[in-house]
Amino acid sequence: MARRDHAVYVISVAAELAGVHPQTLRIYERKGLLDPARTTGGSRRYSEDDISRLRRIAELSADGLNLSGIKRVMELEQENLRLHDEVRRLRAEAVAAVDAVRREQRRDLVPLSQSIELWRRR
Amino acid sequence: MARRDHAVYVISVAAELAGVHPQTLRIYERKGLLDPARTTGGSRRYSEDDISRLRRIAELSADGLNLSGIKRVMELEQENLRLHDEVRRLRAEAVAAVDAVRREQRRDLVPLSQSIELWRRR
DNA sequence: TTGCTCCTCACGTCACGTGAGGTGGC
DNA sequence: TTGCTCCTCACGTCACGTGAGGTGGC
């Protein structure tokens, strides 16, 4: 499987994979909806990530959103995903922190007989 | 100050406050962008919350989003706000949980002299 | 040369805002 | 009665997708 960020598809193939007109891809790019790589000759090359993004654009477009809306929605969805991850991370961290405190304090405890011994030798 | 969810504005006033045509408000409603209260006679009554929402709609519209996009964006913004709150709450909770464990374990500790006394009387 | 790419321009369609027109209740 | 509300319908404008037309490099 190719690296998802490896740009391999020319515009006609990308358009076919996304089910849209090649010219439409150029419009999306002009609107800032995606930014495919370019060959040294100046041709566009689309990655697997670009194709996913194109499919998401197609979905939102089918839902009736215009391009400004699609752009904003995809930004918000990304932010949203980041926040979901943050919540998951924080939940795990909270549990780990409590465990750590418990473990640390248990390490500080000493059996009574040993404490007495230490106290006598003081 | 009126309760923010208290519906007091008739459509002409709401339109004026939001800077749009009354007919536009009816379109927004049909599109599911907001849902003002109704009098028993069937007239719309807008609350302060509705006006805020209308202002946000006007902003997004000025940014070039169409109504489908505005709807989706406002839903995502709400979800986003909820997640931000969740993150803030979790951060506070994590600190509180660690403190609680520390405090609880400190309560379980007994001065050595007292421990010895207890041990002798056993 | 063939078939792609690049770009710009034009047209058709649709969404949406504005407004007119006719209705009914405070 | 006056001025609001309700609704539907029609028009103008704009966004966007499609396609044509002409160009240039593998």
DSSP class of residue A114 equals H
User: Is the distance between the Cβ of B14 and the closest atom of strand C smaller than 7 Å?
Assistant: no
Q: Separation of CA B67 and C1' D15 in angstroms?
A: 13
Give per-residue pLDDT as tens, A57-83: 999 999 999 999 999 999 999 999 999
Model pTM?
0.83
Query: Residues B111-119: what's their mean pLDDT?
Result: 75
**Residues packed against strand D, CB within 7 Å:** A 20-21, 23-24, 27-28, 31, 41, 61, 66-68; B 10-13, 22-23, 26, 42-44, 64
pLDDT of residue B104: 77
What contacts 24+ positions apart, CB below 8 Å, involve B99-107?
B101/A98, B101/A101, B101/A102, B101/A105, B102/A101, B102/A105, B105/A101, B105/A102, B105/A105
**Confidence band, pLDDT 50/70/90 cuts, at residue A23:** very high
Could B80 and A84 be called an inter-chain contact, meaning their C-beta atoms sit closer than 8 Å? no
Set of chain B residues whose Cβ sits within 8 Å of the Cβ of A119: 112, 116
Pairing between β-strand A37-38 and β-strand B7-9 as defined by DSSP bridges? unpaired
Q: How many CB atoms lie within 10 A of CB B15?
A: 19
pLDDT digits (tens, 9 = 90+) for A41-57: 889 999 999 999 999 99
pLDDT digits (tens, 9 = 90+) for B27-64: 999 999 999 999 988 899 999 999 999 999 999 999 99
Beta-strand pair B7-9/A44-47: unpaired
Mean pLDDT on B89-111: 82
Shortest CA distance from A93: residue in chain B = B94
Q: What residues of chain B lie within 8 A of the CB of A72, using their CB?
A: 60, 63, 65, 69, 73
Q: Which residue of A has its CA nearest to B72?
A: A73
**pLDDT for the residue B2:** 56
Q: How far, in Å, is the CA of B58 from the C1' of nucleotide D13?
A: 18
B4 CA, D6 C1': Å apart: 26
Helix (H, G, I), strand (E, B) or coil at B10: coil
pLDDT tens for A32-42 read 999 999 998 88
Mean residue pLDDT across chain B: 89
Taking CA–CA distances from B60, the nearest residue in chain A reads A69
- Indicate if the pLDDT at residue A2 is higher than 90: no
Residue A31 has pLDDT above 80, yes or no: yes
What per-residue confidence (pLDDT) applies to B102?
82
